[in-house]
Amino acid sequence: MDIEERFLKYVSIDTQSDEYSDTTPSTLKQLDLGKELVKEMLELGITDAHLDEYGIVYGTIKGNGGTGDIIGFIAHMDTSPDASGTNIKPQKINNYDGSIIEINKELGLSLDPEEFVSLKKMVGHDLITTDGTTLLGADDKAGVAIIMDLANYLYEHPEVKHNDIKIAFTPDEEVGRGADNFDVNKFGAKYAYTLDGGDIEEYNYENFNAYSAQVEITGKSIHPGNAKDKMVSAINVAIEFENMLPAQQKAYFTDGYDGFNHLHHLEGGCEKATLEYIIRNHDLTLAKKQINDFKRIKKYLDEKYGYELIKLDIKESYLNMAEVIKENYYIIERLEKAMNSVGIQGFASPIRGGTDGARLTFMGLPCPNIGTGGDNFHGPFEFVSLTMMKQSVEILKELIKE
């Protein structure tokens, strides 16, 4: 089974996670892929391959005389709740010629390189797209396929000397829980790389400091005919709260190292309203300033309306792994050397998001991120370059060499 067959097999299995579920993993269908991966790993001689009680797959490609560092590779099995992951119908474009790709004529959906400029550097690549009705699942089944293709290569080429190589596949990364139950000690690697990026030339060791904020507003519901000086409409206060946050920090005004506050869910009425935010910034000091904005607005509105109108709950999601990676920079130097060895001039790029690796880094497993060739994740315009996926496998081969 080559890497294309693996990838198409994995995306055919629906593994969408659910941020509102309280089970572990958040959806049981993620276990379907986990069980399939364990089966394939055992067939490739990974005798300790297993799916644990939390839905995490672990395994060791046993060393054959190599004495280098014990390193690991990690990818996540789930796909985003933002778009359907059911009944995916991938479409392949061989030797892409740089033209507009029509992915769904009936829906009028296409990939235009003038809009999706990353396509311009993929002329000559073999691409896989969606049919416009679902996401593709390259985030992160491309990463899963890359790691499994490496395992297959090493199984077929026992002459390649290496130390133990640890691999793991996690559930629920897309809902921020991928590392919740990860056993770093059992994994047993000195450091690892996540395969969860985009362009193959980019690698990541900086990510957002990430927090979530839930704003619960309790209004005073009065018949509108008698509401004067009595009613407090929770939904109107919700609008007021949102409008008091700095306008320039809305996500659609930001890029690069800019932080943002993003209102991703709002519901309610006169009596109750709830706003759910994500708060992001690469700079921890600025992230804390954003958090203080939320607290300041709560205090102001409570005082304005004369009672505890707002309940505010802010939680840490993950922190910027750069703090730890910079103290272990040889991990990045090894990656740069591996990329150069296969003819890729890599460059570091800050992640405007996070990976399992961010949290694992603070759990004692330094874990920068490598590209997989995917783009436009979480929606119907998602695609992946098979050419880049194969290049990613070559980078991993260099990383495990003595």
Is 57 in the same domain as 185? yes
What pLDDT was estimated at residue 310?
98
Q: Do 206 and 324 contact (CB within 8 A), yes or no?
A: no
156 in catalytic set: no
DSSP-assigned beta bridge partners for residue 59: 167
173 in catalytic set: yes
What pLDDT was estimated at residue 38?
98
What pLDDT was estimated at residue 140?
96
Class of residue 5 by CB neighbours under 10 A (exposed 0-12, middle 13-18, buried 19+): exposed
The CA–CA distances, whole Å, from 174 to 73, 80, 178, 361 equal: 18, 5, 8, 18
CATH code of the domain in which 115 resides: 3.40.630.10
Q: Count other C-beta atoms under 10 Å from residue 326's C-beta.
A: 11
Is 121 in the same domain as 254? no
Residue that is written with structure tokens 């559930």 in the block: 171
Is 188 in the same domain as 211? no
pLDDT tops 80 at residue 354? no
Is 219 in the same domain as 276? yes
Beta-carbon contacts of residue 105 (< 8 Å; ≥ 6 apart): none
Mean pLDDT in residue range 128-136:
97
The tokens for 77 are 């099995």
Mean pLDDT in residue range 269-279:
97
Q: If pLDDT is split at 50, 70 and 90, which confidence band does 103 have? A: very high
Could you give the CA distance from residue 354 to residue 179 in angstroms, rounded to a whole number?
A: 12
Is 53 in the same domain as 25? yes
Is 162 in the same domain as 102? yes
Among 290, 316, 342, give the residue marking a domain's end.
316
Is 123 in the same domain as 195? yes
Mean pLDDT in residue range 298-322:
96
The tokens for 217 are 């507003």
102 belongs to an annotated ligand binding site: no
Is 88 in the same domain as 193? yes
Q: If pLDDT is split at 50, 70 and 90, which confidence band does 402 have? A: low
Q: If pLDDT is split at 50, 70 and 90, which confidence band does 111 have? A: very high
pLDDT tens, position by position, 82-93: 999 999 999 999
Q: If pLDDT is split at 50, 70 and 90, which confidence band does 117 have? A: very high
DSSP-assigned beta bridge partners for residue 57: 51, 169
H or E, element range at 332: helix 330-341
The tokens for 283 are 């700079």
In terms of Cα–Cα distance, which of 238, 107, 192 is closest to 365? 192
Phi, psi of 204 (to 5 degrees): -135, 135
174 belongs to an annotated ligand binding site: yes
| DSSP assignment of 27-74 | STTHHHHHHHHHHHHHHTT-TT-EE-TTS-EEEEE--SS--S--EEEE
Is 43 in the same domain as 130? yes
What pLDDT was estimated at residue 244?
98
Coil, strand, or helix at residue 370? strand
pLDDT tens, position by position, 197-221: 999 999 999 999 999 999 999 999 9
Of all residues in the chain, the percent with pLDDT exceeding 70 is 100
What pLDDT was estimated at residue 24?
95
Could you give the CA distance from residue 273 to residue 267 in angstroms, rounded to a whole number?
A: 6
Could you give the CA distance from residue 380 to residue 85 in angstroms, rounded to a whole number?
A: 10
Could you give the CA distance from residue 194 to residue 69 in angstroms, rounded to a whole number?
A: 17
Q: If pLDDT is split at 50, 70 and 90, which confidence band does 271 have? A: very high
126 belongs to an annotated ligand binding site: no
Is 304 in the same domain as 335? no
Structural domain boundaries, residue 2 = 1-204+319-398
DSSP-assigned beta bridge partners for residue 60: 166
Helix residue ranges, H only, 184-329: 184-187, 234-244, 284-305, 322-325
183 belongs to an annotated ligand binding site: no
Q: Do 122 and 129 contact (CB within 8 A), yes or no?
A: no
The tokens for 65 are 């005389």
Catalytic residue among 14, 126, 173, 199: 173
Among 316, 337, 353, give the residue marking a domain's end.
316
pLDDT tens, position by position, 42-84: 999 999 999 999 999 999 999 998 888 999 999 999 999 999 9
Mean pLDDT of the chain: 96
Is 243 in the same domain as 391? no
Of all residues in the chain, the percent with pLDDT exceeding 90 is 94
- Counting other chains too, the contacts that 99-105 makes at CB distance below 8 Å and 24 or more residues apart are 101/127, 101/129, 101/383, 103/129, 103/130, 103/131, 103/132, 103/380, 103/381, 104/131, 104/132, 104/133, 104/380
Mean pLDDT in residue range 25-30:
97
Could you give the CA distance from residue 309 to residue 108 in angstroms, rounded to a whole number?
A: 46
CATH code of the domain in which 242 resides: 3.30.70.360
What pLDDT was estimated at residue 163?
96
Coil, strand, or helix at residue 85? coil
Catalytic residue among 78, 206, 375, 394: 78
The total domain count for the chain is: 2
Could you give the CA distance from residue 161 to residue 129 in angstroms, rounded to a whole number?
A: 36
pLDDT tops 80 at residue 146? yes
Among 271, 291, 316, give the residue marking a domain's end.
316
What is the spatial order of strands in the sheet that 71-76 belongs to?
50-51, 57-61, 165-170, 71-76, 191-197, 369-371, 202-204, 347-348
262 belongs to an annotated ligand binding site: no
Calculate ∠ Cα 113-145-345, nearest 5°: 55
Coil, strand, or helix at residue 305? helix
What pLDDT was estimated at residue 352?
87
Give strand ranges (E) for 130-176: 165-170
Is 192 in the same domain as 275? no
Between 234 and 256, the higher pLDDT residue = 234
